[in-house]
Structure 1
Amino acid sequence: MASPPSTLQVKVSPAKKKSSILRSLPFPLTFTFPPSPPPTVRDVKLAIAKAHPSLYTERQKISLPENSKALPDESSILFGSGGDVEVLVGDLGPQISWTTVFLVEYAGPLIIHPLIYHLPTLFYGKAVQHSALQKSVYAMVLLHFLKREFETLFVHRFSHATMPFRNIFKNSAHYHLLSGLLLAYDIYRPGFSEPSVAGTWRDNSTLLTGAWGVWAFAELSNLSTHLTVRNLRPAGTTTRAVPMGYGFSAPFNLAFPNYFFEIMGWTVVCAMSGSLAAGLFLVVSTVQMIVWAQKKHAAYKREFGDKYPRGRKAIFPGIL
């Protein structure tokens, strides 16, 4: 029986030399590791980043020559009998932290709504006597996105540290334009002002009080589910477990109750106002969350198998 090789060598070649960084590196790169335990993809990334700091770990995609799919960081490098292997490194481009992404996304409505609400003459050409409805929507929107900012800083733990910087513009557009500019401009206009809604169903104090109650329930329930998920993952890890407890178990029995409660909260804003802009944001957001929930729900089933609760739905109790 042949003895194991004294060293394990990883040859790193460029996947495609499209980026300026990959064109500038002296390929192939070769790194030598101790034979036990075998290095992981993460170890290879760290070695590349140490030799060439401009290609930091979050910017790298490591794959095999025969398969362009990215290898997970925790996977071990499989060596041939000679104790060497070749992998490809791709450049994912400049990265930005997910924390920064969410802070920027949610900051949009927090800036846009106060501007339009407090400076109506600038946007509508005249002053607006704000109705109780407008005041309620204004408070709900600000509280919702302040909660989102708080969760980003102190609650959420992300599986991936970064994403490509270029994506922040696409991600932010959803919030800055739909729940920011479009919703604010529509809901604070003179058509929803105190003189315009006086004596109509939009001026019903009982309706507004009920709306506040349902909205607060949805927001607090959403926060509760986020805290549950946070507690499943120790800090600094990517540990995954089947979430249980409020929202995840009966009577809701959902894989992603956070999405369900999010939809509930925006449904309240849409129903209490009758705003077309609120309706558009609700529809777009709901469709996107359904897509995310179904994809992640299927991944949960594959990952946890028999340990996953039978009968659990993805996003709507007993339906979907």
Structure 2
Amino acid sequence: MRLTIDKRGASKKASSRYPFVVEVPDAATVGDLKRAIAAQVKALSPERQRLTVGADKAALADGDSLGKYDLADGATVLVKDLGPQIGWQTVFYIEYAGPIALHYLIYNFQSLVYGQTFEHSALQQRVYLLIMGHFIKRELETAFVHRFSHGTMPLFNVFKNSAHYHLLAGLNLAYWLYSPATAQGTALAAQLGSPLLLSVFTGIFLFAQLSNLSTHITLRNLRPPGSRERRIPRGYGFGLVSVPNYLFEIMAWAAVTAMTRSLAAVLFLAVSTVQMYLWAIKKHAQYRREFPDYPKARKALIPFVL
């Protein structure tokens, strides 16, 4: 089957190679077509390509056969160059490394950050351990648990994605949570450092973290290695909501916020919750479209409510 490849979006004035023709087997997949295009345009690796047909802006999925899109001999496929790419796993490593580094530096180098040295309170010590543990857990999950449905993303997006973690979860939280205002000996540290309250909020945080890990393992087991297969998730947490991993994430940061009563933590919790709400609604709608037998009673993010 011969297909015409033309350029979509950007101006063609510097693209004299377009349009051009590639030849693929009749039973070829979208992935096969991308590799055929890359063979003719060396700079356009399969990861950089976004293929569409006609006026439809929905991208052709790599694993689908070309026949699914009614592509016949002589049809035209439009390609858009997504630019330099970076692996999603690498993106996750970068995102979570920022808060780890910032919390470590701000907690341990007080004189450079605050211009003085002081003894950390029990509250600050506990929060430091919990937050560092959270992001180290994230790094380990990235290495050993997650299976990514998309191999790469545009390189530029790594800066946008990292800003949330580096600025809000890293610099914002660390600077205010470890400041002299709640150091050992202050009235605020005494008020917030009740051993009972620290134990209660630590228990909630750890419960949420272990539950979050459980849901990530469930999602991993849905997709065989090397596959992008999608199935309805079931099991712990999924009987109530479509994205219990987000629910447990919100619960963990709500515990940190209640423990510290910090406006910095409130800001991070609010921004994170809004973002996860938007992702949850999108994922819930996607599940419902994709699976006709998707459980009707299951909510998106908040059990029995939303």
> Which interval holds the TM-score relative to the shorter structure?
over 0.9
Q: Secondary structure at the match of 2:120?
A: coil
Alignment gaps of 5+ in structure 1: 1-7
Return the TM-score normalized by structure 2: 0.95
- Matched residue, 2:261: 274
| Residue ranges of structure 2 left out of the alignment (5+ in a row) | none
What are the residue-to-residue correspondences of 1:111-260 with 2, within 5 Å? 111-197=101-187, 200-249=190-239, 253-260=240-247
Which is higher, the Rg of structure 1 or of structure 2?
1
Distance 1:75 1:199, change over 3 A: closer
RMSD, matched Cα: 1.6
Is the partner of 1:244 in helix, strand or coil?
A: coil
Q: What TM-score, normalized to structure 1?
A: 0.91
| Aligned residue in 2 for 1:313 | 299
State the match for 1:13 in structure 2: 6
Secondary structure of 1:88's counterpart equals strand
For 2:209 and 2:102, locate their aligned partners in 1 and report how far apart those are by CA, in whole Å. Answer: 21
TM-superposed deviation, 1:76: 3.0
1:96 aligns with one of 73, 86, 93: 86
Give the distance between the partners of 2:24 and 2:230, measured in 1 at CA.
Answer: 29
Structure 1: 4+ residue segments shifted above 6 A: none
1:4 alignment partner in structure 2: none
Inter-partner Cα distance in structure 2 for 1:30 and 1:76: 19
Deviation string 1:255-291 (CA, Å, 9 cap, x unpaired) is 1110011001001110011111011000000010011
1:233-253 Cα offsets, whole Å, 9 max, x none, are 01111111111111112xxx1
- Residue identity matched to 2:46: T
Pairwise CA distance, 1:71:
1.7
Percent of paired sites with the same residue: 50
- What secondary structure does 2:80 align onto? strand
Instruction: Give the total of aligned pairs.
Output: 303
* 2:213 aligned partner, one-letter code: L
Who is 2:19 aligned against? 28
Opposite residue 42 of structure 2, the aligned amino acid is P
Q: 2:63 aligns with which of 71, 74, 81?
A: 74
What is the CA-CA distance between 1:53 and the residue it aligns to? Answer: 2.7
Q: In the superposition, relative to structure 1, how do residues 180 and 34 fare at CA in structure 2: closer, same or farther (>3 Å)?
A: closer
- Tell me, in whole angstroms, the C-alpha distance in 2 between the residues paired with 1:206 and 1:87: 64
Which residue of structure 2 lines up, in the alignment, with residue 5 of structure 1? none
Letter in structure 1 aligned against 2:114: Y
Shift of 1:201: 2.9
